[in-house]
Structure 1
Amino acid sequence: MNKKLLLLALTMLFVGSAFAQKLLSPSFTYSHKKTSYITLKDGTEITGTIKDLDRKKGLIDQIKIEKEDGKKVKLKPEDIKEMYLPQSGLDKVSQAMDAMSDAQKWNNEQIDQDLLDDGYVYFENAMVYYKKKKKMELLMQLLNPTFSKEVKVYHDPMAKQTMSVGVGGVTLAGGLEKSYFVKTNDGEAAYKLKKKDYDEEYEVMWEGCDELMNSTDRAWKDLSKHVVAFSDCQ
């Protein structure tokens, strides 16, 4: 399949949702040529290209960056406050299509929207209830960076997916994640939200928002719509 046909297929696939806010598909591959932007907890800003990225149980365990002056540094997740990594390959195409719509109303002003528009993935150091509800600081990929002002939805690196969509053997859109980590403004840490538990969790999560309490549209696939509606209620 050539690039024109692939892009046409992508456009046809996503045109129906062009005006809806969507959770981004998680990205796993990053450019080794385009500049990455990393801010450490002590305020130090590092720009450079990725030389190597190691994962452990799905989470980033170490990232090696070659700075603009040619020096190489190895960074651990606990040292990083936030970072913007440039995508590569089909990850970039998928992410761009997922982020077709604009949501200035719900933007988190602390996130660089220009870099997101340029195809970057945003990670931040977040407190998470992880493994037996133990609170840990983890470097998490934010999946709703354009509408995360009230509720943040992070990729669960251990999540399974529902069926994906493909054309000609090429995966164009990943299936729905079966779990995410979610954090509201008043929460101490992000917690794991599973698809199978969403019916029970729905009213607890969105308590105080009449629009969501009165809605019969409570499907897991509409989680992003619920996040936006809850933001409107605040």
Structure 2
Amino acid sequence: MIKKLTLSLLAFIIVIQVSGQKLLSPSFTYSHKKPSYITLKDGSEITGELKNVKRKKGLIKEIKIENEEGKKVKLKPEDIKEMYLPQSGLDKVSQAMDAATDAQKWTNEQMDQDLLDDGYVYFENAQVYYKKKKKMELLMQLLNPSFSKEVKVYHDPMAKQTMSVGVGGVTLAGGLEKSYFVMTEGDEAAYKLKKKDYDDEYEIMWEGCEALISSDDRAWKDLSEHVVQFSECQ
């Protein structure tokens, strides 16, 4: 009974989500059955089994990976340019639902779309205005890899969420994040955008895009749609 109800609700969520472009849900668990792909700042690449992702207060502090030669390597965020990690469990289910609505029209050609389509999540080294507006170099998960040409939306490791959807104690769809880090092309660093501040910052964010400025649809839940509309204006 629970299995049938879970499948029914899962189908219902997918129907809801295909109505527009969606930001991916942040991922925290990763598969040991598929290889991870890490590119370092010096251009070298490491492929192998991810052993551990060490976090402190939500921020990635260390990556442990066993390369194809069987050597275990420890990496700091400042060593890494970008990485693709394979998801596991319900994290993969959540992304699969979201990825079904990706906008190929605004795909960033610099990313490996085949890996993204295969359920991998993408992290990159980014300059971020963090606590007290201090600019820091952090390893951030990009939540809109398939429509990020003009605006990048990163997961806020400290973000709280609105209600999530679940059955029998199992979460099927994460709640809406109450904050993200956002960076528009040309910005020096990503800045924190909070749900409570979106109304006040809306016109500044989307300046130059008349379709957005003149729109009455300014809801936080439609942020991903606003990103797509802004890309169309450029």
Provide the rounded CA distance (Å) in 2 between the counterparts of 1:131 and 1:8: 42
Question: Which position in structure 2 is the counterpart of 1:10?
Answer: 10
Provide the rounded CA distance (Å) in 1 between the counterparts of 2:93 and 2:23: 15
Give 5+ residue unaligned stretches, structure 1. Answer: none
Shift of 1:16: 2.4
- Please give the secondary structure, in 2, of the residue aligned with 1:175: coil
Shift of 1:138: 0.4
Question: Which position in structure 1 is the counterpart of 2:88?
Answer: 88
- CA separation of 1:19 and 1:109: change in aligned 2, threshold 3 A: farther
Shift of 1:135: 0.6
Question: Which position in structure 2 is the counterpart of 1:105?
Answer: 105
- Output the TM-score relative to the length of structure 2: 0.97
The alignment status of 1:210 with 2:206, answered yes or no, reads: no
The alignment status of 1:118 with 2:118, answered yes or no, reads: yes
Provide the rounded CA distance (Å) in 2 between the counterparts of 1:191 and 1:12: 34
Shift of 1:20: 1.1
Question: Which position in structure 1 is the counterpart of 2:64?
Answer: 64
1:1-234 equivalent positions in 2, closer than 5 A: 1-2=2-3, 6-234=6-234
Shift of 1:62: 0.6
Provide the rounded CA distance (Å) in 2 between the counterparts of 1:161 and 1:102: 22
Q: Tell me the number of residue pairs that the alignment of Structure 1 and Structure 2 aligns.
A: 233
Aligned Cα root-mean-square deviation (Å)? 1.1
Provide the rounded CA distance (Å) in 1 between the counterparts of 2:173 and 2:46: 32
Provide the rounded CA distance (Å) in 2 between the counterparts of 1:91 and 1:179: 19
Shift of 1:31: 0.9
Shift of 1:68: 1.0
Q: Report the identity percentage.
A: 81
Shift of 1:5: 5.4
Provide the rounded CA distance (Å) in 1 between the counterparts of 2:78 and 2:65: 16
1:127 partner letter: Q
- Please give the secondary structure, in 2, of the residue aligned with 1:172: strand
- CA separation of 1:113 and 1:68: change in aligned 2, threshold 3 A: same
User: Is the contact made by 1:19 and 1:100 (CA closer than 8 Å) also made in structure 2?
Assistant: no
